[in-house]
Amino acid sequence: MEAGGLASYATSLTENYRRAALMVDKILKGAKPAELPVEQPTKFELVINLKTAKQIGLTIPPNVLARADRVIR
């Protein structure tokens, strides 16, 4: 994102790793992988790059910036 992307809305990698670790723990404790439930992501992150927005002459509304999990200035 720091390399020039304007915005990103995606699942939280940290949360994905935590959930994967919990699944591995269950398997190591004897659970059968085929019996584990398929899970959907529950946490998403919005990142906005104001440096890129400024370079292309775009103004990001304050209410969108307030909702962002991370703002690159």
Regions in the chain scoring below 70 on pLDDT: 1-2
70 closest CA partner among 47, 45, 53: 47
Cβ–Cβ < 8 Å for 39, 15: no
Strand partners of residue 10: 45
Report the side by side order of strands in the sheet with 44-49: 7-11, 44-49, 70-72
0.85 exceeded by pTM: no
Measured distance between the N- and C-terminal CA atoms of the chain, rounded to whole angstroms: 12
